[in-house]
Structure 1
Amino acid sequence: MTARADPIAYPPRGLSRDEAARYIGVGTTKFDELVASGQMPRPKRVGARVIWDRLRLDAAFSDLPELENAPNPLDRMLGTP
């Protein structure tokens, strides 16, 4: 049996550990550290699978601190201080 293409394009809500780490832009080791420190959410269990909620990852990522005094790339491109 072949899988039928889904006519609705949408991002998955649940992500594996590898997908969740890639989604926020880090490797799995760093992702594990962020989960252990509480900076990233803990996963949910669905049967035997362990999955991360993409919306909770978004919220946790938004709460991460920003670099202080980091140059804004747009300002640099426009030549403004």
Structure 2
Amino acid sequence: MGRPLHASTDRKASAEPARLIIEPRRGLNRVEAARYIGVSPTKYDELVRDGRMPRPKRIDGCVRWDIRQLDAAWDALDGGDGESNEWD
């Protein structure tokens, strides 16, 4: 199923800090789901509570958000302020 999630350990090869390598997958944890839609985890929690983002799936003790449901919820979002803008 691909390489595991890990941080690069070869710091001599590059001056850049270690980065996580995240393989594409369907289930995201809370922090990943928040990052996926571009908000903080705290804001993401608010969006889940008020129904603008989907509730997670529980797999035993594991809580994951379905990336397809995140896409659908994102597509359903309006600006929320009722104002039109130059991008409308």
* Structure 1 pair 17–5 and aligned structure 2 pair: CA distance change class (3 A): closer
Give the TM-score taking structure 1 as reference length. Answer: 0.72
- Partner Cα separation in structure 2 for residue 12 and residue 21 of structure 1: 15
- Partner Cα separation in structure 2 for residue 23 and residue 33 of structure 1: 15
Structure 2: tracts of 5 or more residues without a match: 5-22
Give the TM-score taking structure 2 as reference length. Answer: 0.67
Is 2:60 the partner of 1:71? no
Query: Which one scores higher on RCO, CA 8 angstroms, separation ≥ 6?
Result: 1
1:33 Cα offset (Å): 0.3
Structure 1 stretches of at least 4 aligned residues deviating more than 3 Å after TM superposition:
none
RMSD: 1.9
- Partner Cα separation in structure 1 for residue 3 and residue 57 of structure 2: 27
Count of residues in Structure 1 that have an aligned counterpart in Structure 2: 66
1:69 Cα offset (Å): 2.3
- Partner Cα separation in structure 1 for residue 56 and residue 84 of structure 2: 33
Question: Which is richer in helix?
Answer: 1
